[in-house]
Amino acid sequence: MSSSVLAANPVIVFGAFDRHNFGDLLFPHILEALTGPADFVHAGLVARTLNDAGGHQAHAIADLAERYRDWPVRIVHAGGELLTCGAWEAAVMSLSIDEAQEITARLGSDAQQSLAWTRERLCLQALAPYVAGRAQFPCADAIVHNAIGGAELDAVTAAMRVEVREKLAGADSISVRDRRTLAHLNSQGLAAELVPDPAVMVAELFADRLQAHAASGEVLQCRQAFPKGYLALQFSIDFGDEATLDTLAAGLDRFVRHSGWGIVLFRAGAAPWHDDIGAYRRLAARMRSHAVRILSSLHLWDICALLARCSAYAGSSLHGRIVAAAHALPRVTLCRDDTGSGCAKHAAYAETWDGDRQCWLAEPAALCEALMDAIRIASIEREQQQAAAAALAARYRAHAEVLQARLTGCVSASLSR
């Protein structure tokens, strides 16, 4: 463990920092930029280092719970759809792609063996392992849930809902990022504050860093390849079947003809069940237009820079959408109900913060038309969208100021139970 772990009273920043996913990599950077110096220790479910991708060194939460069981640590759940991430799913996503394929093929149909493997992998018995509670950290000075999500909390098992409620009931502060999650918690007798996702701060906090990454490497090459502009496009493996790729290719060819822009495909996550670069290559091969490139970089700040400089965004990544919105750019969320990628969390977030006309969710067949509509509206309402982005950032910054008081030991009545 790093020397900071040996601090007597660290701030344990907990989240899915042990796998490559765009939003999860972002959260600790935002938290630390807003709250200032502290003895931060980053925790995931397993020990892993993602520094090369712009992430952090993550320590296993089970190890930290053992080490700090009797210490007055402060724990911050940094954000994300933590309330509905089950143990098996979380454990598999902590593996490499090859390991995940092997373990799901071997154990995926055997409930008892998969449960045993999951508990051994995570060293936890929890059904909702990304939610830490007082049973793990009985002497914690503060347990904080920061802008967390659980849009489909009503769809998980009853046992998992009970566990989540019991853990949240012992927290000192809960904030959630959408009204659906808020309603779920309120229905269980839990109070929470409604705040935007932390990623609304990206444009304000990291402009210089994004400029540097946009001016070099692959991002610069993409900008130079498409001087008239480009669509930043991403999608998860749920969209990688042959029929869907055919549909997307036809729609993107129409989009290139209508817009005159290029297409840049990028991965917002390389963990199992996230994005597959092979599907991107198959999509590019299907397109008649040659105005398409694939960003191979998985570095957090390259992804952010690509989004900051794009002309529009489309994809199944919620944080791709949020970062595009932070820069007041047109955005469309790609969804498909037939695979379970109906984007409940995306719809919940957009309905909460984007307003009725901004809730652009599109099936693959409707992507081109949805994009053109989003671009048209954005061109008319550029100033309004800039003002909306600034308002969300201001709202989250105000929340972060109160959070900082909690983390520095200044107890605030608004964060007390």
pLDDT at residue 38 in the model: 75
Q: Which helix (H) or strand (E) holds 102?
A: helix 97-107
State the Cα–Cα distance between residues 195 and 61, nearest whole angstrom.
26
Rounded to the nearest 5°, which phi and psi values hold at 262? -95, 180
- Domain-embedded: residue 217: yes
Mean pLDDT of 274-282: 96
pLDDT at residue 2 in the model: 44
- Domain-embedded: residue 41: yes
Pick the closest to residue 35 from 67, 16, 11, 64 (CA basis).
Answer: 11
Which of 97-106, 149-158, 356-365 is predicted with the least confidence, judged by mean pLDDT?
A: 356-365
pLDDT at 340 over 50: yes
Pick the closest to residue 392 from 346, 324, 337, 313 (CA basis).
Answer: 324
* Residue in the block written with tokens 């394929």: 101
Number of neighbouring beta carbons within 10 Å of residue 123: 15
* CATH classification of the domain holding 160: 3.40.50
- Domain-embedded: residue 351: yes
Q: Which helix (H) or strand (E) holds 209?
A: helix 207-214
- Domain-embedded: residue 265: yes
Tally of CA atoms within 13 A in the half-sphere of 352 that contains its CB:
23
pLDDT at 42 over 90: yes
Mean pLDDT of 289-307: 98
- Same domain for 182 and 288: no
Q: Which of the four pLDDT bands, split at 50, 70 and 90, describes residue 1?
A: very low
- Same domain for 160 and 223: no
Strands (E) in 189-324, as ranges, are: 193-194, 230-234, 262-265, 292-294, 312-315
Beta bridge pairs of residue 197: none
Calculate the average pLDDT of the chain: 92
Query: Total structural domains in the chain?
Result: 2
Please answer whether residues 367 and 332 qualify as being in contact, where contact means their C-beta atoms are separated by less than 8 angstroms: yes
pLDDT at 89 over 60: yes
The residue among 417 and 244 whose pLDDT is bigger is 244
State the Cα–Cα distance between residues 56 and 53, nearest whole angstrom.
9
pLDDT at 409 over 80: no
- Same domain for 221 and 110: no
What domain range is 105 assigned to?
3-195
DSSP letter for 361, please: E
Q: Is the pTM of this model over 0.85?
A: yes
| Residue-wise pLDDT tens digits, 372-397 | 999 999 999 999 999 999 999 999 99
Amino acid (1-letter code) at residue 174: I
| Residue-wise pLDDT tens digits, 250-260 | 999 999 999 99
pLDDT at 115 over 80: yes
Query: With left for phi above 0 and alpha for psi between -120 and 50, is residue 315 left, alpha or beta?
Result: left
Torsion sign across C-alpha atoms 372, 393, 36, 65: negative
Which of 9-18, 194-203, 209-218, 315-324 is predicted with the least confidence, judged by mean pLDDT?
A: 9-18
- Same domain for 363 and 220: yes
- Domain-embedded: residue 159: yes
* CATH classification of the domain holding 378: 3.40.50.2000
Mean pLDDT of 341-350: 82
Mean pLDDT of 287-302: 97
pLDDT at residue 416 in the model: 37
- Same domain for 188 and 205: no
pLDDT at 410 over 60: no
Long-range CB contacts for residues 362-366, cutoff 8 Å, separation at least 24: 362/314, 362/332, 362/333, 362/334, 362/335, 363/334, 363/335, 363/336, 363/337, 364/239, 364/244, 364/247, 364/248, 364/251, 364/334, 364/336, 365/247, 365/251, 366/251
- Domain-embedded: residue 408: no
Which of 3-12, 20-29, 301-310, 354-363 is predicted with the least confidence, judged by mean pLDDT?
A: 3-12
pLDDT at residue 8 in the model: 64
Last residue of a domain, one of 195, 225, 240: 195
| Residue-wise pLDDT tens digits, 143-185 | 999 999 999 999 999 999 999 999 999 999 999 999 999 999 9
- Same domain for 165 and 56: yes
pLDDT at 110 over 90: no
pLDDT at 280 over 80: yes
| Residue-wise pLDDT tens digits, 126-141 | 999 999 999 999 999 9
pLDDT at residue 404 in the model: 86
- Domain-embedded: residue 35: yes
- Same domain for 357 and 329: yes
pLDDT at residue 6 in the model: 52
- Same domain for 207 and 172: no
pLDDT at residue 240 in the model: 95
Dig out the tokens for 240 from the structure.
Answer: 């990688």
pLDDT at residue 337 in the model: 73
For the chain, count helices (H), then strands (E): 17, 14
pLDDT at residue 341 in the model: 56
